[in-house]
Amino acid sequence: MRLLIADDHPLFRLGLRAGLEAEGLEVVAEAGNGLEALEKTLALQPEAVLLDLRMPGMDGLECAKRLRQAGYRGIIAFLTTYQEPALLREAWLAGADAYFSKELSAAELRSRLLRVARGEERLHPPSLPHLTPREEEVLRLLAQGLSAKGIARALGLSPDTVKDYMENIYGKLLARNRVEALERARALGFLREKT
């Protein structure tokens, strides 16, 4: 299998390349950002592209989207430390075939890539609770430490209405209180900063 590795850490790329080549895979190119990965992938047409999620300039998600828009039909696999369900869903929406942890060994990564190539393994979007736009606003204000009264003032709502929204959020996030709701929201990716 011919591969392209895209990651903004040169030492990681070097180690990954050595590990994958020791497993019999051919690394045809490396890239330090999404734009470079896009250009090299379209020029070289490797069978698979391993993308880091976060890279300077164009990130992995945008690169994946553009590769699919340009007609690239090879395997797009994310290799990352980020495991939030919301990010897995974004990767799936961007056209990724796989989403792997950087903690895999080279042998495991090779095995999983071959399973994807044979159609035995595919990325499936995780199910996420659906929060309405208003519930997302309330959640963000909760994360800023505002009380129900403070949220009510900020949004021009009654405190009782805000409490209803908070109960809905707790139910959707399977949380018993504010602390659990915020922990779960962070784990699901609802409160991460936009890149």
pLDDT in tens, the chain (195 residues): 999 999 999 999 999 999 999 999 999 999 999 999 999 999 999 999 999 999 999 999 999 999 999 999 999 999 999 887 778 888 998 999 999 999 999 999 999 999 999 999 999 877 778 899 999 999 999 999 999 999 999 999 999 999 999 999 999 988 889 999 998 888 787 886 544
Predicted local confidence at residue 98, as pLDDT: 97
Name the residue with tokens 């051919």: 26
Q: What pTM did the predictor assign?
A: 0.72
Asked if 2 contacts 43 with a C-beta cutoff of 8 angstroms, the reply is: no
Give the other-Cβ count within 10 Å of 60's Cβ.
Answer: 28
Asked if 109 contacts 20 with a C-beta cutoff of 8 angstroms, the reply is: yes
Predicted local confidence at residue 89, as pLDDT: 81
CA atoms within 13 A on the CB side of 91: 30
Predicted local confidence at residue 14, as pLDDT: 97
C-alpha dist (Å) from residue 44 to 16, 32, 114 = 19, 16, 20
Report phi then psi at 43, rounded to 5.
-75, -40
**Beta strand segments in 119-173, E:** none
What is the SS3 assignment for 28? strand
Predicted local confidence at residue 189, as pLDDT: 77
